[in-house]
Amino acid sequence: MPVDLAPYAVAPSNSRGRRYREDPPAYRSEFQRDRDRIIHSTAFRRLVYKTQVFVNHEGDLYRTRLTHSLEVAQIARTVARAMRLNEDLVEAISLAHDLGHTPFGHAGQDALNDCMREFGGFEHNLQSLRVVDQLEAGHADFPGLNLTFETREGILKHCSTANARRLGEIGERFLKRQQPGLEAQLVNIADEIAYNNHDVDDGLRSGLIKLADLAELPVVAEQIVIVQHKHPGVSGRREIHEVVRSMIGIFVTDLIDTSQARVHTAAPENIAAVRLQPRALIGFSEPYSEAKTTLKRFLRKHLYRHPQVNAMTEHAQQIVSTLFEVFLDDYQRMPTEHANSAREHHDSEGLAGGARVVADYIAGMTDRFAKQAHENLHNASGSSKAGTS
């Protein structure tokens, strides 16, 4: 960690600490400790087999949740270092931000949210927090990973008022309409830079979108001109790679320049002053914010809703909802540990308690585990459990 952190950065000395008190680490910062706990968690290892856009087994070259999280961390660390923010903290938040994602990307999340509609819904952001606060069982003395307040704050990017009330301290800022720390703001934007650009790359690789179509967007057209000027006649994968590289570069540069200027103008003395700002200080300039929105819109229309992707997501949604129905109907069809937990929560909280345990179990599945569990439902052998997770 750089020693010259900005006064408005989060530092171990101004951290709001952990829910359960622990001795400070001997040779790491508190946030390095958070990052290490995240990397060693079970949920983190599962990210490698979870879909970003393309179902995990469609091809080995597409992004998964794991490589996405690494790209977010890389972008966020670059910006954090340039702005003298806490690099360890942004790394921890980045690596944890998608831990609550269901199998099959957004299709899986939408399906699970539908299934949970009468039981409080399902939201991947909140689920990521639930994973690090409750579901990971890595320590003898406390539930979850017992991460610092600031890492948890960064994971919970948004939440409903009802959930904010229920969550206590970590939900307060949504009720008071305060800002999170700059590191949390930064990871939020780094996430967008990462997925917009890698989805362009994966979309082109898959052939579902074409560079010529993307060139309708001014921000892409500009990069093509720059790339062609620098490397006359370059084509194919090399051209795509150069264009994507160039796009990440200009978005990151704009993010740093704009954020630095806003921080300079607002001149927050410390983290408390950052929280009281009327709006986030980390962000793009107006033109780049617009360019980002246009790019997102393009991807939604031409990639996320492409018939081929749709066919895949419909199948994924069907897998998730079938698993949910079957497990909710008979907890015993889940592995013993989950079945017992569902029964206990059902007894104390009613059906919603049991449903939440079923949702946790399904959300924790990787793409292939969910597919296998679904296939096993149809095997009449009775050995329907795809193994413990």
DSSP state letters, 341-387 = HHHHHHHHH-HHHHHHHHHHHHHT--HHHHHHHHHHHH-TTS-----
Q: Minimal distance in Å, beta carbon 192 to Mg ion? A: 8
Would you state the structure tokens that stand for residue 276, as one six-digit string? 């009281």
Q: Minimal distance in Å, beta carbon 191 to Mg ion? A: 4
Residues that bind Mg ion (CB under 5 A): 98, 191
Q: Minimal distance in Å, beta carbon 13 to Mg ion? A: 29
Q: Minimal distance in Å, beta carbon 155 to Mg ion? A: 11
Cα→Cα distances 182→44, 85, 90, 160, 193, Å: 24, 8, 9, 21, 17
Q: Minimal distance in Å, beta carbon 97 to Mg ion? A: 5
Of 108 and 268, nearer to Mg ion (C-beta) is 108
- Tell me the C-alpha distance between 175 and 160, whole Å: 9
Of 79 and 358, nearer to Mg ion (C-beta) is 79
- Residue 303, Cβ neighbours under 10 Å: how many? 20
In the chain, count of helices (H) and strands (E)?
A: 19, 0
Of 98 and 199, nearer to Mg ion (C-beta) is 98
Of 195 and 284, nearer to Mg ion (C-beta) is 195
- Tell me the C-alpha distance between 364 and 101, whole Å: 8
Cα→Cα distances 366→40, 125, 134, 164, 263, Å: 17, 17, 19, 28, 40
Q: Minimal distance in Å, beta carbon 68 to Mg ion? A: 6
- Tell me the C-alpha distance between 257 and 378, whole Å: 56
Of 109 and 258, nearer to Mg ion (C-beta) is 109
Of 119 and 195, nearer to Mg ion (C-beta) is 195
Geometric angle at alpha carbon 250, from 248 and 256, rounded to 5°: 100
Of 12 and 108, nearer to Mg ion (C-beta) is 108
Would you state the structure tokens that stand for residue 281, as one six-digit string? 């200080």
- Tell me the C-alpha distance between 204 and 194, whole Å: 15
Please give the residue whose beta carbon sits closest to Mg ion in the complex: 191
Q: Minimal distance in Å, beta carbon 71 to Mg ion? A: 9
Of 98 and 150, nearer to Mg ion (C-beta) is 98
Q: Minimal distance in Å, beta carbon 94 to Mg ion? A: 9
